[in-house]
Structure 1
Amino acid sequence: MPQHTDSFSLSNVDQPTRNVEIEFNGVSKSWGENHVLRDLNLSVTAGEKVSIIGPSGSGKTTILRVLMTLETPDVGVVSVGGDILWDVKAGVKPKETKKMRATRRKVGMVFQQFNLFPHMTALQNVIEAPIHVLGLPKKEAEERAVELLGLVGLKNHMSHMPHQLSGGQQQRVAIARALAMRPRVMLFDEPTSALDPELIGEVLGVIRQLATTTDMTMLMVTHEMRFAQDISDRVLMFDKGAVIEQGPPDQIFASPEHERTRRFLSMMLDR
């Protein structure tokens, strides 16, 4: 795993202290008879690191996609940093507004697939959104990108094209790209699932560093149970579109109360 010695500060991100950063109120989402979110009520405190675990198809990723405005709830209210992201009445499709787009920019996401622009270098991939979305001058965007690529251990790979990078390196570029937007909230959707086993550790190392050295709010959907236990303030067990159990990692992993949680963890930890 690379050594990350470069400093990184989120001092220019306005992070409220101990306030609710993410809130879902009565959020539901279905595709036909498949209820992926069932009347979800969930609050995440500013700076909290939350892991979401549970079987495939239980609705975990849908939470993240709603926060990224990639999915529209059928009903419910979602807020980020005190600002409304979604306020959906049943049967009424909301319109995208300037306020919604501004709230959405508080959120960054790292997907399972790296989704880098194949014709751009690592540096160019990281500066693209700050220049064209945030309107940052090119020099300032490049300075920010150099700092972030150093943070993820890729200072010597800035001029490499994606095909010249390993999967783990590409995912670290994707993390730097998301951080370049200075989000208040970082979402990780099974960020190691597309990696070969020997590359998983380098990506988890970067996420661990972010979890332990920054005050960003972080939500991570993961099947890396030991990692979730190690870095989380709280773990949510998701099943059939609902949070069936939540609590500190020591409680969830050592003495889960729900039978479904016990069966799931027994299967995952015995692999």
Structure 2
Amino acid sequence: MRGVNKRFGDNVVLRDLDLDVDPGERVVIIGPSGSGKTTILRVIMTLERPDSGTIEIGGKHLYHREGPGGLKPANEKQISKVRSDIGMVFQHFNLFPHMSSLENIMLAPVKVHGKSRDEARERGMELLEKVGLADHANHTPGELSGGQKQRVAIARALATEPAVMLFDEVTSALDPELVGEVLNVLRDIAEEGATTMMLVTHEMGFASEIADRVVMFDHGQILESGTPDELLRDPQEQRTKDFLGAVFEH
């Protein structure tokens, strides 16, 4: 991300944001509510368009294309092509209620990536096995707990084999006793090491365990960043100290 700006009316949510994430790196984004954390993920996922700046995924421009005289706006076809390398898991699952767990996972591989239904079904069952829900393949979301729904949502995001996975507060809508089962799935993905992960979370213990780098965000900008040891245990900025003090106290 280079010089990315995003505003909603008079509210500037991202300010001249520069951010690099290496292939396979796990970056956790922390910060107070309203600081712009979720907007970073939504802009990368093309759910919100930046007002200015550029974003590249794997060396490919997301919102632009090279043209005579420099960068031009990309068309929808190019945006979709680059976006197909990205998966996102939301706070509120967003599963289709009338479809089974397996059908939810099969949808994008078949409709977007042109896989056969047999291929998609086989991959879907592998992923349900991975998240510990193979025996819930035919259950609809209404028959699942919150933690189970979120695990299906993670399997669905993995089904297209994205290079980059975005996770937006994926445990915040869950009852406390269900948080652990979802974090365990994220740990498994992280340990495999092939997927670049960006996570917005308030789970600081989990962040310290999983992150290669923690980024503190405030007022649409990166305030400071470092390893979990550096940022969570010895922050340099007073704003970070105050934020972490409030989180750990809570």
**TM-score, normalised by the number of residues in structure 2:** 0.95
SS at match of 2:62: strand
Of 140, 163, 171, the match for 1:192: 171
Which residue does 1:59 correspond to in 2? 36
Q: 1:263 aligns with which of 242, 246, 250?
A: 242
1:72: which partner in 2?
A: 49
Equivalent residue, structure 1, for 2:6: 29
Contact 1:52 1:236 in 2 (8 A): yes
**Secondary structure class of the residue paired with 1:44:** coil
1:162 aligns with 2:119: no
How far the C-alpha of 1:213 sits from its partner, in A, is 1.7
Counterparts in 2 of 1:97-112, with a 5 A limit?
A: 97-112=76-91
Residues 86-131 of structure 1: CA deviation (Å, up to 9, x unaligned): 249xxxx945332211000000000001111111110111001100
Structure 1 residues 95, 84: closer, same or farther in 2, change over 3 A? closer
Q: Which of 191, 198, 206 lines up with 1:219 in the alignment?
A: 198
> Hey, what's the Cα distance between the residues in 1 that align with 2:135 and 2:207?
30
1:161 Cα offset (Å): 1.1
Percent of pairs with identical residues: 57
Partner residue, 2:151: 172
In structure 1, how many angstroms separate the alpha carbons of the residues matched to 2:62 and 2:213? 23
CA distance in 2, matches of 1:159, 1:31: 41
Equivalent pair of 2:64/2:74 in contact (CA under 8 Å): no
Gaps of 5+ in 2: 66-71
Tell me if the contact between 1:27 and 1:76 (Cα under 8 Å) persists in the aligned partners.
yes
Does residue 48 (structure 1) correspond to residue 25 (structure 2)? The answer is yes
Residues in 2 aligned to 1:84 and 1:31: alpha-carbon distance in whole angstroms:
23
Other structure's SS at 2:139 match:
coil
The answer to whether the 8 Å contact 1:76/1:87 transfers is no
**What amino acid sits opposite 1:158 in the alignment?**
A
Secondary structure of the 2:114 match is coil
- Separation of aligned partners in 1, 2:11 and 2:121: 45
Q: Name segments (4+ residues, structure 1) moved above 2 Å.
A: 93-97
Aligned to 1:13: none
1:194 and 1:237 map into 2 onto residues whose CA distance is: 22
Q: Secondary structure at the match of 2:123?
A: helix
Give 1:244's aligned residue: 223
Gaps of 5+ in 1: 1-23
Please give the residue correspondences for 1:125-144 in structure 2 after superposition, counting only pairs within 5 Å: 125-144=104-123
Deviates more, 1:43-52 or 1:29-38: 29-38
AA in 2 matched with 1:195: L
What's the Cα RMSD here? 1.2
Aligned residues: 244
1:215-253 per-residue CA deviation (whole Å, 9 max, x = no partner) reads 100000001111111100000000000000000000001
CA distance in 1, matches of 2:137, 2:210: 29
The letter of the residue matching 2:133 is: L
Q: Secondary structure at the match of 2:120?
A: helix
Aligned to 1:96: 75
Q: CA deviation at 1:32?
A: 2.0
Counterpart secondary structure, 2:19: strand
Distance in 2 of aligned mates of 1:122 and 1:87: 36
Distance in structure 2 (CA, Å) of the matches to 1:228 and 1:177: 23
Name the SS for the 1:260 alignment partner: helix
Paired letter, 1:226: G
Letter in 1 for 2:155: A
Partner secondary structure for residue 183 of structure 1: coil
